[in-house]
Amino acid sequence: MSDFIVKVGGEGGTDSPTTAGEFITLSAIREGNSVFTLRTLPAEIKGGLATYQVRVSSEHVSSQGDGPDVLMCMNQESYDELIDELDLEGGVLVYDTDSVQLAPQNGADHRLYYGVPMTSIASDEVKERRTKNMVLLGVFSALFGLGLDTLKRCVEDKYGRRGPELVQLNHAALDAGARFVAEKLKKADPFWFQPNPERSGVERMVVDGSDAVAMGAAAAGLQVYAGYPITPASDIMHWLAKFLPQFGGTVIQTEDEIAALGCCLGASFAGAKTMSATSGPGLSLMTEMLGLGVMCELPVVVVDAQRGGPATGLPTKCENGDLNIAVLGTHGDAPRIVVAPANIRDCFYDTVGAFNLAEKYQSPVILLSDQSMAMRTQAMEPPDVDTIQRHDEHGSPSTNNGTLAAAMMDKRYRKVQAARFESGWSRTHGPETAKIGAIGWGSLEGALAEAVDRINANGGTARMLHLRMLAPLPVEEIEAFAATVDKVVVCELNFSGQLNHMIRAETDVRSSLIRKYDGVPFTPRELAAALQEELNHG
Amino acid sequence: MAEVAQAQTLHEAEPRRAKDYRSAVDPIWCPGCGDFGVLSAVSEVFAERNIDPDNVVIVSGIGCSGRFPAFLRCYGFHGVHGRALPTATGVALANPKLRVMVVGGDGDGLSIGAGHFPHAARRNVDLTYLLPDNEIYGLTKGQISPTTTDLSLAKKALSSPHGSWEQPVNPVGLALSYGASFVARAYSAQRKELSKVIDEALAHRGFSFVQVVSPCTTFYNSYKTITPKVRFIDDEHNIHDRNGALQLAYDRRHVWLGVFYRDPDRPTLQDQFQHIREVSAGGRQRALNDIFRQYT
Ligand SMILES: Cc1ncc(C[n+]2csc(CCOP(=O)(O)OP(=O)(O)O)c2C)c(N)n1
Ligand code: SF4
Ligand SMILES: [Mg+2]
């Protein structure tokens, strides 16, 4: 089995490291590997440092892993910014000798360095400076075993429409990179791709969380989308603006988020399937409308791609701190359904599920995704719409006839509480019983699962429960899980432990908290260490 | 065809009367409130046009005037304060065949909801927006509003006991500058003109805005100051001339009533938007499969 992480960094505009990363991803998929990618875009609108990280494994992977094993630097800035991420023991650096000046090495540095004159190979040999990222890919292929033919075919598929010259040029650059390795470098690291022909063609789509949500909405029959731009949710609107007409739907960019949800509620009132997507600041503005939707029992899906808060906060960073506002936000008592996908596949299927719940329970449903899912890609099987269960009945809007307010409140609570017995909104992982039981929600599932595996591999016992429906809280399920372990810890990407509070308030479980709130997702290593600490001292 | 013919005979047999449009709920407005006039005018015009109540959705703001839908027999949506226009835009997007009317007061539309007015106007949503303007917050019992011009009329103005320096906004002027394709003003005490203007607004394809001067007898009784200033816009005014319309709107000495501006040719939101339609699961799968290929 092979499983390692590559990170490519360079100048966003001229080096195009993202394109290089995308070709690695696509080729790896075609060779039957599983991938998990993360990209960072430059803060500058044009130019600046862009990075693309991809974890490639011959078996299914569900987290971004710990840190890069192989770092490829196309310019000085990428080296300066990223080199500290590379492990001092055994990390591999591939760098452009034409543009990177290495810092003096100290004795603790046992990394492996491969220098390649990428810029001059592109400019002098291939005679096109812009093929530098293809030279890098040729080097990558020869050094780490990703098939050169596979890469070439990907180039044909992506650039073929633009003429044979472009394809030939890029092929020449790939060959030049590979040739340099064959002639000038001696491989001394253990990282080597293993094609997995059995899996090839299975997980053949590479999708990010935004597109997966948008596709799920289209598959579910979304008809009216209204939204206001906000990072990291805008990509959902962009996808829908492009494709939704093919699905019989329409997209409107409104003047603010209040108008967006207002528009959705109006459309829902008139019988359409509706959705809006936003991030924390937008959800804050929507809360009064959310209460209106609950009161009028109008089906609508609201996606919150969570980012760091409060206020404008950390707009390009990751935090799962909107659970409270999603579950409780708005005045009065306003029960609603809150679900949270944990990976890219979920982003598709849980969006479909959210539409179904909204129709079935005639209620707003909030879907909490986050920045890390919006910006990552994972491989998945192309979904089959026929197998997706859908509810087509249209809700009749409630009349405003002064029915006893108390009876209406009773009804809304009773109705929504029933949703906690819906099956399939949680996953467990690990042995049937264990010393420690971790409960998670949101995008950290993959990292938590790997941490649990590491604990079990190291002689401890751990299991986990990952919740994808958070309101109504599946109280019975949480209590049953707690009965199988000596100790429960809730793992969350926020400061106060919002789910932990809810569990302690609504169940008999006395859980403790593992948390992180620096804007960066948990790595498996961090979670494993925290769980081990709980095991040792808890 | 047969169905259409039958429907027509039914209409001929029983033309709807104004009271057929009124619900069982009696208005709870104060005696003399201008909003009574607006309600009567709307039901009269509906009857004259024999409008099918099943095809009408009235979306309202929150305020005394926002109670409108409860008193009419058609679909109604009484939402949250200031957000009637975006809600109505959603209704229009979902079903372009519906006749959409929005009713909300000066506070609702020009204070808390002021951000939505320009956008509904420039999108030219095909709906009729009635703004009963009493220059005060009625429902919350008499605080000044963005259109309050004469504080001495305010019975309480609890929020401004020391007066106010704030300039009132001019609803007709705003609508004209936001690019509304139909802009008019009427007065609840001038019932004939009011009905005529509402009728024309309903006939307009596009965003039709009507400021209805509608005094609040309880907190801001402006009948006596407004009535002597009333003038009717006549044929001398070119209805397609926005600048001329702005001059009438900002005439300090007179309150001009009638249609200020009309542009019947602008495309509406309903024209521009791809109309939503049902697509079968098979159709969705085919569309998705085409798209999925771009991700491999
Ligand atoms: C968000 C919010 N803020 C405040 C209120 C209280 N409120 C209800 S109606 C109203 C103003 C009503 O004035 P106007 O829109 O002019 O309507 P009128 O009663 O004069 O017809 C206010 C401030 C509310 N309902 N919602
Ligand atoms: S308070 Fe004023 S606006 Fe409200 S009903 Fe009474 S008179 Fe009409
Ligand atoms: Mg008012």
Residues A388 and A448 in one domain: no
Residues B77 and B195 in one domain: yes
Given A395, A421, A447, the domain boundary residue is: A421
Given A178, A202, A226, the domain boundary residue is: A202
Who among B69, B70, B80 is closest to A288 (CB)?
Answer: B80
Residues A318 and A432 in one domain: no
Beta-bridge partner residues of B59 = B77, B102
| Count of alpha carbons within 13 angstroms of residue A363, beta-carbon side | 24
Residues A309 and A183 in one domain: no
Sign for the pseudo-dihedral over CA of A355, A360, A365, A369: negative
- Spacing of C-alpha B184 from chain mean position: 10
**Minimum distance, in Å, between the CA of residue B172 and any CA atom of chain A:** 21
* Number of structural domains chain B divides into: 2
B8 has pLDDT over 70 = no
Residues A323 and A185 in one domain: no
Residues B195 and B276 in one domain: no
Residues B111 and B49 in one domain: yes
* Number of structural domains chain A divides into: 3
- Spacing of C-alpha B194 from chain mean position: 13
| Count of alpha carbons within 13 angstroms of residue A318, beta-carbon side | 22
Residues A7 and A151 in one domain: yes
Residues A244 and A388 in one domain: yes
Put simply, whether B295 touches A (Cβ < 8 Å) is yes
Nearest CA to ligand 1 atom 4: B81
Give per-residue pLDDT as tens, B222-251: 999 999 999 999 999 999 999 999 999 999
CB-based contact A453:A431 (threshold 8 Å):
no
Query: How many angstroms separate the alpha carbon of residue B177 from the centre of ligand 2?
Result: 29
The predicted model scores a pTM of: 0.91
Residues A416 and A433 in one domain: no
For chain A, the distance separating the N- and C-terminal CA atoms, rounded to the nearest angstrom, is 35
* Cβ–Cβ below 8 Å for B288 and A204: no
Sign for the pseudo-dihedral over CA of A513, A518, A520, A524: negative
Who among B89, B119, B278 is closest to A248 (CB)?
Answer: B278
Residues A299 and A194 in one domain: no
**Minimum distance, in Å, between the CA of residue A346 and any CA atom of chain B:** 16
pLDDT at B100: 98
* Cβ–Cβ below 8 Å for B285 and A384: yes
Residues B261 and B271 in one domain: no
Give per-residue pLDDT as tens, A263-311: 999 999 999 999 999 999 999 999 999 999 999 999 999 999 999 999 9
In ligand 1, the atom with minimum distance to the C-alpha of B111 is 15
Give per-residue pLDDT as tens, A407-460: 888 899 899 999 999 999 999 999 999 999 999 999 999 999 999 999 999 999
Considering only CB atoms, which chain A residues are within 8 Å of B88?
Answer: 266
Q: Which residues fall inside 5 Å of ion ligand 3, going by CB?
A: B 105-106, 134
Residues B66 and B18 in one domain: yes
Tell me what ipTM this predicted complex has: 0.90
Residues A140 and A282 in one domain: no
pLDDT at A144: 96
Ligand that lies nearest to the alpha carbon of residue B218, given by its number in the listed order? 2
pLDDT at B3: 38
In ligand 2, the atom with minimum distance to the C-alpha of B30 is 6
- Burial (CB < 10 A; 0-12, 13-18, 19+), residue A153, is middle
Residues B224 and B272 in one domain: no
**Closest chain B CA to residue A377:** B295
Residues A331 and A352 in one domain: yes
Give the Cα separation of B55 and B36 in Å (integer). Answer: 23
Put simply, whether A253 touches B (Cβ < 8 Å) is no
pLDDT at A264: 98
pLDDT at B13: 53
Query: How many angstroms separate the alpha carbon of residue B109 from the centre of ligand 3?
Result: 9
Nearest to A118 by CA among A191, A202, A10: A10
Ligand that lies nearest to the alpha carbon of residue B133, given by its number in the listed order? 3
Please tell me if the CB atom of residue B130 comes closer than 6 angstroms to any atom of ligand 1: no
Give per-residue pLDDT as tens, B66-111: 999 999 999 999 999 999 999 999 999 999 999 999 999 999 999 9
In ligand 2, the atom with minimum distance to the C-alpha of B219 is 2
Put simply, whether B119 touches A (Cβ < 8 Å) is yes
pLDDT at A402: 54
**Helices A344-361, A209-220: crossing angle, 10 deg rounding:** 40
Domain CATH number, residue A490: 3.40.50.920
Put simply, whether A254 touches B (Cβ < 8 Å) is yes
Q: Among residues 273-292 of chain B, which lie with CB inside 8 Å of chain A?
A: 273-279, 281, 283-285, 287-289, 291-292
The residue type found at B248 is: L
Strands (E), chain B: 56-60, 75-78, 99-103, 127-133, 136-137, 143-144, 182-187, 207-213, 230-232, 255-262
Question: Distances in Å between the alpha carbon of A388 and those of A185, A203, A216, A384?
Answer: 51, 18, 10, 7
B10 has pLDDT over 60 = no
Residues A160 and A253 in one domain: no
Domain CATH number, residue A74: 3.40.920.10
Please tell me if the CB atom of residue B138 comes closer than 6 angstroms to any atom of ligand 1: yes
CB-based contact A225:A250 (threshold 8 Å):
yes
Q: What is the mean pLDDT of each run of 10 residues along chain A (538 residues)?
A: 94 91 94 90 74 93 94 97 94 97 92 97 96 97 96 95 95 98 96 86 87 96 96 95 95 97 98 97 98 97 96 88 97 96 96 97 97 91 73 36 74 92 95 97 97 96 98 97 98 97 97 95 96 90
Given A366, A388, A421, the domain boundary residue is: A421
- Spacing of C-alpha A20 from chain mean position: 20
**Helices A257-269, B84-94: crossing angle, 10 deg rounding:** 50
pLDDT at A43: 64
Residues A15 and A37 in one domain: yes
Question: Percentage of residues in chain A with pLDDT exceeding 90?
Answer: 84
Domain range enclosing B282: 267-296
If you count residue pairs, one on A and one on B, with CB atoms under 8 Å apart, how many are there?
149
Domain CATH number, residue A374: 3.40.50.970
Domain range enclosing A510: 426-536
Who among B86, B276, B291 is closest to A224 (CB)?
Answer: B276
Who among B273, B279, B283 is closest to A250 (CB)?
Answer: B273
Residues B6 and B140 in one domain: yes
Residues B127 and B271 in one domain: no
Please tell me if the CB atom of residue B62 comes closer than 6 angstroms to any atom of ligand 1: yes
pLDDT at B281: 85
Nearest to B39 by CA among B155, B158, B152, B130: B130
**Minimum distance, in Å, between the CA of residue A499 and any CA atom of chain B:** 30
Residues B252 and B107 in one domain: yes
- Phi then psi dihedrals of residue A92, to 5 deg: -120, 130
What rounded mean pLDDT belongs to chain B?
93
Residues B137 and B278 in one domain: no
Residues B27 and B70 in one domain: yes
